[in-house]
Amino acid sequence: MSELLAHSEQQKNSGKRAFSNQAFALGLLFGACLAMVLLLQQSPEVDLPQAHQNPELNESLSLIEDALQQINSDYIQEIPAKQLAEAALKGIFQELDHHSVYLNEASYKKLVKQTDGEFLGVGIDIEDRAGRMVIGNLQPNSPAAQIGLLIGDEVIAINGQDLAKVSYVEVLSLMGETSETVLSLKLLRKNNSFEVQLTRELIAIDSIKTIFIPHADALSDSSTKEHQTAQSGIAYVRISHFNEYTAKDLEEKLLGLSSEEESIYGLILDLRNNPGGLVDAAVEVADLFLEKGTIVSATGRASDADFKFRAKKHEIFADLPIVILINASTASAAEIVAAALKEQDRATLVGKTTYGKGLVQTIIPIQNGALKLTTARYYTPSGLSINERGVRPHITSADSDMVIAMSEINTSNQQTLPHYMAVKDPTLLRAWQFLNGKDMRNHIAMDAPNVQ
């Protein structure tokens, strides 16, 4: 799912960004209060947090309480109190936006595992696109990736449950159930339906993959590498999502590519199909390539929803030419990085206009789960909101259904690598051409003023 995540005060001790007590109280109020009402264990004297001594809000809560009490006593069949409480929360969130959602305990634990670096699952994130449940992210080397599922595949049934009339929250619940080790999915791809059986595995999430692509001259002369004590080349880095280790891993891997044996003269940062992740991680990644200026700012009603992150003066990879690959599935935290480096003239963007998600969701733990609540709107360094607009590339390139595999880059004959890219990944080829100054006739003047 496309998301930009912050964290609540309860997670501060684990290194996450704290959220305001006011927002936490609101989540606690809806979750805990409704559950207590339904269990008929509510004390006649419940002290609400001072920030929420709001007569209009209290009156609305009284309305909800009256309705739920009536359902609890008179509905044709008895409904478990917890189930009613979760149904009430789902109804509230359906009136907000399609990014805000109530997470039950299983879904919340899965999300925490993903941001921490591992989770039990099949390797896909499902996104609600106008009522269609679509694979929005695919974890490399996961059970789903290994059998050939693709980003954009529509999930129409889970374990025999038709999703036509199922809410997004219920879909997350079905995906997060751990009682079943095998997950049965029915999918739709280009009007053709098919079914797959996937076994849940403990997936270690490595958000960074890197490959060293030798200099273009070496590609045209297979003997060059043998006669060089050191070779120069391009670092190709694919970031699948942003978790708390992304920036550190990226820095270590880029420094590792710049050794006595190898030096990098350009960087291709592939953010295609990256659905987002942690805001702090996106800021840290952008800061590796920026010496000064704003990276991202945000505004919201909560006490700490207004913030501005600026680059620090410790740019490690100064003057390293950068090309960023983007497409329509580049979202949220990935868009922060792309927009920051674009607007500060630090990178050239190649591909398609990004998804356009400029909203921040804060994870607010409550009893038996959490709220993923939209709390802020973020802005690019120039003050633009990309929400529902996206980040536009400097150079437009056709986005193919099939992106060249990292293994194909690594193991292909060096002389034929450009041909591999031309057939399987034209966007990557354009980036490679740009950094090598080859075949630039189609580039617009503002991107390559000295190229004829």
Domains of the chain: 118-204 (2.30.42.10), 208-361+378-436 (3.90.226.10)
Instruction: Extract the tokens encoding 58.
Output: 């209290």
- 116 DSSP assignment: H
pLDDT of residue 330: 92
211 DSSP β-pair partners: 236
Q: What is the pTM of this model?
A: 0.69
Of the candidates 317, 266, 285, 284, the residue with the CA atom closest to the CA atom of residue 428:
266
Give the number of C-alpha atoms closer than 13 A to the C-alpha of residue 300, restricted to the C-beta side: 25
More confident residue, 379 or 5: 379
Q: Among 222-226, 284-288, 298-302, 398-402, which is the least confidently predicted range?
A: 222-226
Tell me the mean pLDDT in the region 289-294.
Answer: 93
Q: Directed axis angle between helix 81-94 and helix 168-176, to 10°?
A: 130
Instruction: Extract the tokens encoding 303.
Output: 């006490």
Hey, is 196 helix, strand or coil?
Answer: strand
Q: Among 14-28, 56-70, 214-228, 381-395, which is the least confidently predicted range?
A: 14-28
Residues 6+ apart with CB under 8 A from 327: 272, 273, 351, 352, 354, 399, 427
Is the pLDDT confidence value at 209 over 80?
yes
pLDDT of residue 14: 38
Q: Among 185-199, 207-221, 279-293, 357-371, which is the least confidently predicted range?
A: 207-221
Is the pLDDT confidence value at 49 over 60?
no
Would you tell me how many other CB atoms lie within 10 Å of the CB of residue 95?
A: 7
pLDDT of residue 20: 36
Out of 43-52, 105-114, 187-196, 306-315, give the one with best mean pLDDT. Answer: 187-196
Instruction: Extract the tokens encoding 77.
Output: 């069949």
**Residues 149, 96: Cα–Cα separation, whole Å:** 31
**Residues 432, 401: Cα–Cα separation, whole Å:** 19
pLDDT of residue 116: 62
Q: What is the mean pLDDT of the chain?
A: 77
Q: How confident is the model at residue 7 (pLDDT cuts 50, 70, 90)?
A: low
Would you tell me how many other CB atoms lie within 10 Å of the CB of residue 178?
A: 11
Is the pLDDT confidence value at 221 over 70?
no
Residues 6+ apart with CB under 8 A from 156: 133, 162, 163, 164, 186, 187, 188, 193
CA distances for 389 relative to 313, 354, 358, 360, angstroms: 31, 8, 9, 16
Q: Directed axis angle between helix 168-176 and helix 105-116, to 10°?
A: 70
Of the candidates 172, 51, 166, the residue with the CA atom closest to the CA atom of residue 100:
172
Q: CA quadruple 338, 343, 345, 346: dihedral positive or negative?
A: negative
CA angle 174, 180, 182 (to 5 degrees): 95
120, amino acid identity:
L
Of the candidates 254, 239, 253, 251, the residue with the CA atom closest to the CA atom of residue 206:
239
Q: How confident is the model at residue 404 (pLDDT cuts 50, 70, 90)?
A: low
Hey, is 219 helix, strand or coil?
Answer: helix
Residues 6+ apart with CB under 8 A from 239: 207, 208, 246, 250, 269, 270, 271, 274, 285, 334
Would you tell me how many other CB atoms lie within 10 Å of the CB of residue 391?
A: 27
Q: Among 280-294, 307-321, 368-382, which is the least confidently predicted range?
A: 307-321
Instruction: Extract the tokens encoding 315.
Output: 């740019």
CA angle 434, 438, 440 (to 5 degrees): 70
**Residues 432, 321: Cα–Cα separation, whole Å:** 11
Is the pLDDT confidence value at 178 over 60?
no
Q: How confident is the model at residue 447 (pLDDT cuts 50, 70, 90)?
A: very low
